[in-house]
A and B are shown apart, each in its own frame.
Chain A
Amino acid sequence: MLADILQLLVAGLATGGIYALVAIGFALLWQTSQTINFAQGEFVMLPAFFVLIGMGYFGLPFWPAVALGTVVTILALGVLFKKLMVDPMIHHGVLPLVIATIGLAILMKEAVREFYGADAWPFPALAAATNVTVFGVAFAVQSLVILAISCAAMVALQLFLNGTRTGRCMQATAQNPTVARLLGIPVERMILYTFLINAALVMLASILITPIYLAKFTNGELLGLYAFIAAIIGGFNQVRGAIAGGLLLGVVDNFTAAYISSQYRMAVPLVFLIAVILWRPQGLLGRVEERTV
């Protein structure tokens, strides 16, 4: 019994860690540029295909293909996304950009279906599909590896944001761009950095999750939804919140599937989301957003 719970907990934290990575990027984009990225799930779906193209068409081994995929992801989903979509649209307000990212999500999904194929393609795993036994409880090595990598990434990001000058400038930009600009912070460049970080995070999430789900053009639908939920229940304006939200969501999701109902697995996070928005819209860890009228 206890062993079951521990196994579920570790598996939940592993998927939760991936949700957290995606949710952090989502929250960062919102904080610095008021971008609600409805294509965030597709942002995770796509890099796996960049890697597969690198391996299939250019005949690269796995790691060079990952390196190539990372460069393409950061250019396409970081730099180009900001320059071509967000910058021209942001002065129209939030809604047109939301609509445009919905369009982008459709574009990415359908482009993969049309030009790569609608099948689920196998993707190399980072760890062998074996178990390791700790204190008599068997854990999947893959879960442990995912958990370790995502935790390392989150810690590194927190250290960067809180410990370096650039990171602090980014936080200042997120809190108050006008004052940040007055203080001489290159606000535009800081915003660009958040887009690059988001691209790096979705790339990482992509190579962690695709071995489990296989590479398929519809992968983003569920992931995007989970990233929204994680970001909101944790607190939309806090990286810490997105981490907590992601981990919590992964654990809740796994336990619901195991003990309550696999059919209504999706419903629990959704009800949780509605409850959090209604009773604590700033999120479990978030602070109240203050806006002038």
Chain B
Amino acid sequence: MRHARRAIAWSVLAAAGVFLLAAPFLFRPYGIFILTMWAVLTIAAIGLNLTLGYAGQISLAQAAFVGIGSYVTAYLTTRGWPFWSTYVLAAVSCFVIGWLLGYPALRVQHHYLAFVTLAFNTLIYLIFRNEEWLTGGIYGISNVPRPNFAGWSMNGPREFYYFCLAHLVLVSLATWWLIRSPWGRAFVALRENPMRALSLGVDTRRYTLMAFALGAGLGGISGALYAPLVQFVDPTPFALMLSLNLLLMVMVGGSGYFLGPFLGAAVSVLLPEWARFGSDALYLIFYAIAVMVLMAFCPSGLLGLAERFMKR
């Protein structure tokens, strides 16, 4: 029986993989755009899952990092910088800012941490909106170019989709390796019982900061892909709502599960497009009710629910 279930799980994964590879030939450009958006936001959600799901540090600032990554990329590429240099800069700057944001986490926990990160997100949003000389204010930065890769233009929707999918695969592999390394185990120790982790010789201070910095860095990478995807960057998408949405993605998919962010982002990004509801508001109403019911009956998310059925 155990083997049969494992086979089911693998075949579902394989089917998803085949679908993702074949998808650009099945959909029109808008469908491909939505799938690319899924890949980009999944990277941000993977980052948040590292911070929240594995290391247990609640963060409501992930949208700020996606925003910083987007603005760094948009600002520099529209001024002629090559994509890869801005890409590295986006990831590194978010890593550093995330590291700094980790310091409050050393002093306060739980709800206080949620509010510090929430305040940080709103401050960053205000800077995006008000510093017109840098960010273009509410008019934003338009005509963000798409990159070239090994001489190939990534301009078309299909090419850019594969480009983002490749990034998602690389990020997933790196994360997979990370959570199986001693680091990942230290993160989980931090989540389960920080005091015990400390007494066992885990440098909780360093790992807390690292959990924030890595999560933020992935947010930056997500942003570095978001800007060339939409080709226009303005403050609105990076308000608190996106942070809350990313948090919902992680929790709905299953916080602390490797595949949780993939599923959560799919529910949040893909489902409203394909399941035609009467209006956006109506979809959000159903989504909100589903989230509440899920949290009441299975706070470990959809994957937790699936696991419960598998074990039965």
A-B contact count (CB 8 A): 116
| CB–CB B282/A104 < 8 A | no
| CB–CB B116/A274 < 8 A | yes
A264 CB within 8 Å of chain B = yes
**Beyond A103-B292, A232-B115, A274-B104, is A96–B299 a contact (Cβ under 8 Å)?**
yes
A114 CB within 8 Å of chain B = yes
Q: Mark A76-98, 1 if CB is under 8 A from B, else 0.
A: 00000000010011001111111
**Beyond A225-B122, A267-B123, is A277–B285 a contact (Cβ under 8 Å)?**
no
The stretch among A7-15, A60-68, A105-113, A193-201 that forms the contact with chain B is A105-113
A138 CB within 8 Å of chain B = no
B281 to A: closest C-beta gap in Å: 4
Complex Cα spacing A236 to B291, Å: 27
| Minimum CB distance partner of B285 in chain A | A110
**Beyond A88-B296, A107-B292, A293-B195, is A277–B130 a contact (Cβ under 8 Å)?**
no
Complex Cα spacing A81 to B126, Å: 33
A36 CB within 8 Å of chain B = yes
Complex Cα spacing A271 to B120, Å: 8
B135 to A: closest C-beta gap in Å: 13
**Beyond A100-B296, A102-B247, A270-B123, is A111–B285 a contact (Cβ under 8 Å)?**
yes
B129 to A: closest C-beta gap in Å: 8
A266 CB within 8 Å of chain B = yes
The stretch among B9-17, B106-114, B211-219 that forms the contact with chain A is B106-114
**Beyond A99-B248, A267-B126, is A110–B104 a contact (Cβ under 8 Å)?**
no
| CB–CB A114/B114 < 8 A | no
Complex Cα spacing A106 to B119, Å: 20
| Minimum CB distance partner of A89 in chain B | B296
| Minimum CB distance partner of A273 in chain B | B119
A257 to B: closest C-beta gap in Å: 14
Complex Cα spacing A64 to B295, Å: 37
| Minimum CB distance partner of B58 in chain A | A95
Complex Cα spacing A229 to B115, Å: 8
B295 contact from A30, A89, A114, Cβ within 8 A: A89
Instruction: State the majority secondary structure of interface residues on B.
Output: helix
B281 contact from A102, A113, A264, A267, Cβ within 8 A: A113
Size bracket, chain A contacts = 35 or more
Residues of B within 8 A of A129 (CB): none
B8 CB within 8 Å of chain A = no
| Minimum CB distance partner of A101 in chain B | B292
| CB–CB A97/B295 < 8 A | yes
A210 to B: closest C-beta gap in Å: 21
Complex Cα spacing A123 to B284, Å: 27
Residues of B within 8 A of A113 (CB): 281
| CB–CB B115/A103 < 8 A | no
B181 CB within 8 Å of chain A = no
Complex Cα spacing A106 to B108, Å: 28
B130 contact from A97, A264, A270, A273, Cβ within 8 A: A264
Residues of A within 8 A of B284 (CB): 106-107, 110
| CB–CB A273/B295 < 8 A | no
A43 CB within 8 Å of chain B = no
A271 contact from B110, B123, B291, B296, Cβ within 8 A: B123
**Beyond A106-B284, A107-B285, A113-B281, is A228–B115 a contact (Cβ under 8 Å)?**
yes
A-binding residues in B (CB < 8 A)? 58, 104, 107-108, 110-112, 114-116, 118-120, 122-123, 126, 129-130, 195, 240, 244, 247-248, 251, 279, 281-282, 284-285, 287-289, 291-292, 295-296, 299
Q: A36-B111, A270-B123 are in contact. List 16 more A-B contacts (CB 8 A).
A: A38-B244, A89-B299, A95-B251, A96-B296, A99-B251, A103-B291, A106-B284, A107-B285, A107-B289, A221-B240, A225-B122, A263-B129, A266-B126, A273-B116, A273-B119, A277-B107
Give the top 8 A-B pairs by smallest Cβ distance, nearest first: A107-B288, A96-B299, A103-B291, A114-B281, A100-B295, A106-B288, A270-B119, A110-B284
B-binding residues in A (CB < 8 A)? 30, 36, 38, 85, 88-89, 92-100, 102-104, 106-107, 110-111, 113-114, 221, 225, 228-229, 232, 236, 263-264, 266-267, 270-271, 273-274, 277-278, 281, 293
